[in-house]
Structure 1
Amino acid sequence: MKKIGFSGTLDPITNGHMWVINEARSLADEVVVFLSENPAKKPKFSAEERKSIIALSCAEQGWENVSVVIVRGDYTARAAKKQGVECLIRGIRTTADFDYENLIQQTNVDVLQGAKTVFVMPPRDLGSVSSSFVKALEGPIGWNWIMKKFVPGPAYHAWVLSWLRKEWETLWDYEHRDAIAIAHADDWFAQLTGATAYGGAARYYHNLDHLVHGLCEIRVWAANTRPDPADVDIIKQAFWFHDAEYGHNPDPAALTNEEASAQLWLGSHLGQEMGDAAELIRATDHFQEAAITHRLKDILLCVDLAILGQDDEVYQNYARAIRQEYIHLPDATYRAQRGGALAHLSRKAQAGELFRDAYFADQYNQRAIDNMQHEMERLAVK
Structure 2
Amino acid sequence: MKRIGFSGTLDPITNGHMWVIGEARSIADEVIVFLSENSTKQPRFSAEERRAIVLESCAERQWDNVQVLVVKSDYTARVARKHGVDYLIRGIRTTADFDYENLIQQTNVEVIGGAKTLFVMPPRDLGSVSSSFVKALEGPVGWNWTTKKFVPAPAYRAWITSWLHKEWQASFPGAPAEAWFARLTGADGYGGATRHYHNLDHLVHGLAEIRAWAANTGATAQDADLVRAAFWFHDAYYGHEPSSVSNEEASARLWLGSGLEPDAGRADEVATLIRATDHLQGGHMAHPLKDILLGVDLAILGQDEEVYSHYARGIRAEYGHVPDDRYGEQRTRVLEHLRGKAYAGTLFADPWFAEQYNEPAIVNMTRELAALA
Taking structure 1 as the reference length, what is the TM-score of the superposition? Answer: 0.96
Among 168, 180, 184, the residue aligned to 1:188:
180
State how far apart, in whole Å, the 1-side matches of 2:70 and 2:122 are. 25
Shift of 1:183: 2.1
Alignment of 1:370 with 2:360, yes or no, is no
**Percent identical residues:** 68
Correspondences of 1:1-382 after superposition (within 5 Å): 1-172=1-172, 174=173, 182-249=174-241, 251=242, 253-273=243-263, 274-380=267-373
Q: Give the C-alpha shift of residue 231 in structure 1.
A: 1.5
Q: How far did 1:227 drift?
A: 1.7
Return the letter of the residue paired with 2:333. G
* Equivalent AA in structure 1 for residue 247 of structure 2: N
Name stretches of at least 5 consecutive residues in structure 1 with no aligned partner: 175-181
1:339-367 alpha-carbon deviations (Å, 9 max, x no partner): 11000000000000000000000000000
Q: Root-mean-square deviation (CA), in Å?
A: 0.8
Distance 1:92 1:288 in 2: 58
Query: Shift in Å at residue 27 of structure 1?
Result: 0.7
Partner of 1:178: none
Q: Extract structure 1 runs of 4+ deviating beyond 6 A.
A: none
Whole-Å Cα distance in 2 between the matches of residues 363 and 41 of structure 1?
Answer: 38
| Counterpart-to-counterpart distance in 2, 1:92 and 1:230 | 49
Distance in 2 (CA, whole Å) between partners of 1:57 and 1:188 is 27
Deviations 1:131-161 (A, max 9, x none): 0000000010000000000000110011101
Shift of 1:292: 2.1
Amino acid in structure 2 at the alignment position of 1:263 = R
**CA distance in 2 between partners of 1:50 and 1:137 (Å):** 19
Q: Is the 8 A contact 2:275 2:282 kept in 1?
A: no
3-state DSSP of counterpart to 1:68:
strand
> Normalised by the size of structure 2, how large is the TM-score?
0.98
Which whole-Å CA distance do the structure 2 matches of 1:372 and 1:279 have between them? 29
Query: Can you list the C-alpha shifts for 1:40-82, whole angstroms capped at 9, x where unaligned?
Result: 1111111111111111111111111000000011100000001
SS at match of 1:32: strand
CA distance in 2, matches of 1:289, 1:246: 16
Return the offset for 1:286.
2.1
CA distance in 2, matches of 1:361, 1:28: 56
Q: Distance in 1 between matches of 2:21 and 2:289?
A: 50
Matched to 1:369, the amino acid is I
Which segments of 5 or more consecutive residues in structure 2 lack a partner in the other structure? none
* Separation of aligned partners in 2, 1:141 and 1:348: 24
Q: Distance in 1 between matches of 2:6 and 2:279?
A: 52
Report how far residue 230 of structure 1 moved.
Answer: 1.3
